[in-house]
Every structure is written in C-alpha cells, then in structure tokens.
Amino acid sequence: MSEPGHQAHDAISKQVTFTVWFFLLGITAIEVFLAYMQLELKVMLVLLMGLSIVKASLIIAYFMHLRYERQSLAWTLMPALIFVVGMLFVVFPDSVRVLLMKAK
C-alpha cells in the first residue's frame, strides 16, 4: 500500500519536468549574458544571487520533490536558506576587498 502523497512523488509529468528545465536553462542564459555586461560589482552580485536563489528554489521544489512534501518540512528549511544567504552577504565585502587588492 502506498501513502496518499506518494503518487505525486512517483510521477512528475514530463511536461512539468521540461517546463522547469527550460526555465532553468533560460535563467542560466540570463546569468551568462549578465556576466558579459559591464555592471557595477554590487549590482552584478545582487542580480546573480537573486537568480541563483530562484534556480535553487526550482531545483529543490521540482527535482528534489519538496513541492510535494508537507509544508512543515519546507518551513524547517527556510531558516537554513536565510542563514546561508545572510552569510554570503557577510563574506561578499571581504571578496570585494581582495579583488581591489589584486587590482593595485
């Protein structure tokens, strides 16, 4: 016997899979395009981090099947996401300092 929520885990439709895959491909294309733009470093970091969070969310939701889990599981992962993003912003100023030291 299978539990009620397990059918959603077993068969994610091909249409959903390909739709998510094309969204990920499009976001990656935008990231590559942004890499060639001459944007200010802070703007570039914010844009790329935002797009990366969207990509990670899509991957976690659809390919790791978190979308089909109980909401409580998703909410337990939110503090970890907030912590990781916060730590990245703590480390970014130091990476900019190192970049500027290399330029001299």
Q: Give residue-wise pLDDT tens across range 73-85.
A: 767 777 888 898 8
Q: Which pLDDT belongs to residue 61?
A: 81
Name the token pair of 43: 């703007």
Contacts of residue 67, defined as CB under 8 A and 6 or more positions apart, other chains included, come to: 61
Range of the domain at 76: 6-103
Higher pLDDT, 69 or 15: 15
pTM for this model (two decimals): 0.61
Residue 82 in any domain: the answer is yes
Total domains present in the chain: 1
* Residue 94: burial class (beta carbons within 10 Å; 0-12, 13-18, 19+): exposed
| Residue in 23, 3, 9, 15 with CA at minimum distance from that of residue 63 | 9
In a domain, 1, yes or no: no
> What confidence score (pLDDT) does residue 78 get?
78
Asked whether the predicted pLDDT for residue 36 surpasses 70, the reply is yes
What is the distance between the alpha carbons of residues 62 and 60, in angstroms, rounded to a whole number?
Answer: 6
Q: Answer yes or no: is 98 within a domain.
A: yes
**Cα 23 to Cα 92: distance, rounded to the nearest angstrom:** 27
